[in-house]
Chain A
Amino acid sequence: MNDLEIELDRLELIPVMPIPDHLTGEVQSKLAYVDELIASAQVPPPGDQIVLRLRQPAGSLPEARRAELEDKVQRVVTSMVKGAFKPKIQVLEDHLDRPTPFSEDPMSQLAGRGEISQEAPGVYSLGPLVTRLIGYFEGRFLDLAASFGAQPYRFPTLIPARYLERVNYFRAFPHSLTFVTHLREDLDAIDHFSQLAACDEAGVLNTPPASFAQVQTLLSPAVCYHLYFALADKTLPGGKLAATAVGNCFRYEAINLVSLERLWNFTMREVIFVGPKDYVLENRETARQRMHRVLEETGLAYRVESANDPFFIGEFRKQAAFQSAFQLKYEIRARLPFKERLALVVKRSSPPSTLAVGSYNYHQDFFGRNLNISLPDGSPAHTGCVAFGLERIAFAFLAQHGLDPAGWPVHVAEAIK
């Protein structure tokens, strides 16, 4: 793309109200869902400007279309910023200063060695080195699960729409849903499809929408939900449960789907606790302490800090504030040195650039109440989970230590031989 084109597709907007530091990332990520015209969106500091790259020259947009786009952008800003509570950031561990010998973006090397193969935005196949590295981390997470006596479970990749409706998922995270359908049980529709189905140049399957059945099922966005549904409308035997499972998870992130950092289809290992409040909170904290030792052995530079889930704009302001106030979520955020190096090209200094590779979560009695999971005394069960993104933690490790196991911490290098 030449300079002239860069100028032509750029659209700068002044937000209706300044976007505070703590919300620039959140607003930027939500702009991905505003309009199909948007190819990229940035909210540079100090948050008094929004820079969009469009899929067509901004000057060629009809006035009404441009006004519609701007209105949608400003709706996102107003909804997320107006009356926003400032979150209380609590740092439980800070090991970001651990040495990270590698500072390149590992993606090009991974692709060059055939270690990754992109099938679609946010969809990758992984080769032997990355698979072994993920296997190493999986082993450590299974050790963690075993230390709690967690029972193993296997859950499906599909999840019924009515399940997600029951836990308010459609209101909280509509933007990231992935729907499942199939051809209707109709001979004509199936015949028509089998003879004429073809993908266009963009990979779009050209099929009349009426051929598809109505959506009753989605691709699952999380692992632990399946356990809560399995326990729904029952009394929890023994009053407490530790469980573990790994599964494919799906969260659509539009133009935010970048490298192995943000995958549409990713794998999550969870250790899940169900029981009284104290049982869940104590185990969540014990898990963090045990993971501290594991992550130390891997040489990962990371920080554990309070966080919120990526609620959509309608619920973001209130839900994020609630999570922050009650300290419901902490993320393990690993350094990505190559991003800091890129930032230094344009600025003299840069704060650490990090990627969430895991989280420690407490849901209070939300699932216990909504799904009627009872403790033996009749009260609703509390739940919590410790979750790890397997591709992400492997990516962060490679971004910090490179692709040559000879340069890795001995513990990891030995384990994957």
Chain B
Amino acid sequence: MEINQSTDLTGQVQSLLAEVFQVPPGEVTPGLAFGDLPQWDSLGHMDLMLRLEEQFGVTVNTDLIAELVNIPAICAYLKEKGHE
């Protein structure tokens, strides 16, 4: 079950990234990281952080901005905050 839940969360995050960076969902692989897409640059990263706050109701402080730089790290943080 945990694997499925994790996959669901990863899927949600992948969808969010595809929307924020305006790329086809297929381009957002589960291991995607900052810099892997031209759109995931400094401004794109901050747009993503703001959307994470909006969509998942979490707070992203300055320390987290530097930590949430790939999909697995984002999913781990969201899971820690009770999202499955």
Contact = CB atoms under 8 A, between A and B. Distances in A.
A383 B46 CA distance: 21
Given A322-B65, A369-B41, 20 more contacts: A83-B50, A85-B60, A85-B61, A85-B62, A86-B61, A87-B62, A88-B62, A88-B63, A315-B43, A317-B46, A318-B46, A321-B46, A321-B62, A321-B65, A322-B42, A325-B63, A326-B65, A364-B42, A365-B35, A369-B38
A384 to B, nearest CB: 15
B63 to A, nearest CB: 7
Of A83, A317, A325, chain B has the most CB atoms within 10 Å of the CB of A325
Say which size band chain B's interface belongs to.
10 to 19
A400 interface: no
A86 B64 CA distance: 12
B8 interface: no
B43 A318 contact: yes
Nearest to A322: B42
B35 A322 contact: no
A86 B62 contact: yes
Contact of A322 (B38, B46, B61): B46
A322 B60 CA distance: 12
Contacts, number: 44
Contact of B47 (A88, A318, A364, A369): A318
Contacts of A88: 62-63
Nearest to A88: B62
Interface of A: 83, 85-88, 315, 317-319, 321-322, 324-327, 364-366, 369
A112 B38 CA distance: 55
B3 interface: no
Nearest to B68: A325
Contacts of B47: 318
Of B38, B60, B62, B65, chain A has the most CB atoms within 10 Å of the CB of B62
Contacts of B45: 322
A85 B68 CA distance: 15
A79 to B, nearest CB: 14
B41 to A, nearest CB: 7
Contacts of A321: 46, 49, 62, 65
Interface in B32-67: 35, 38, 41-43, 45-47, 49-50, 60-63, 65-66
The secondary-structure label for the interface of chain B is helix
A319 B62 contact: no
B66 A326 contact: yes
A285 B63 CA distance: 21
B66 A325 contact: yes
Contacts of A317: 46
The 8 A-B residue pairs with the shortest CB-CB distance, nearest first, are: A325-B65, A318-B46, A325-B66, A88-B62, A322-B42, A325-B62, A326-B66, A324-B62
Contacts of B41: 366, 369
A327 B46 CA distance: 15
Contacts of A369: 35, 38, 41
A87 B61 CA distance: 9
Contacts of B38: 369
Interface string B7-46: 0000000000000000000000000000100100111011
A396 B72 CA distance: 47
Contact of A319 (B35, B43, B61): B43
A318 B62 CA distance: 11
A369 B61 CA distance: 27
B40 to A, nearest CB: 11
B35 A85 contact: no
A10 B10 CA distance: 55
A366 B42 contact: yes
Nearest to A319: B42
Contacts of A315: 43
Contacts of B65: 85, 321-322, 325-326
Nearest to A324: B62
24 contacts: A83-B50, A85-B61, A86-B61, A86-B62, A88-B62, A88-B63, A317-B46, A318-B43, A318-B46, A319-B42, A319-B43, A319-B46, A321-B62, A321-B65, A322-B43, A322-B65, A325-B63, A325-B65, A326-B66, A327-B66, A364-B42, A365-B35, A366-B41, A369-B41
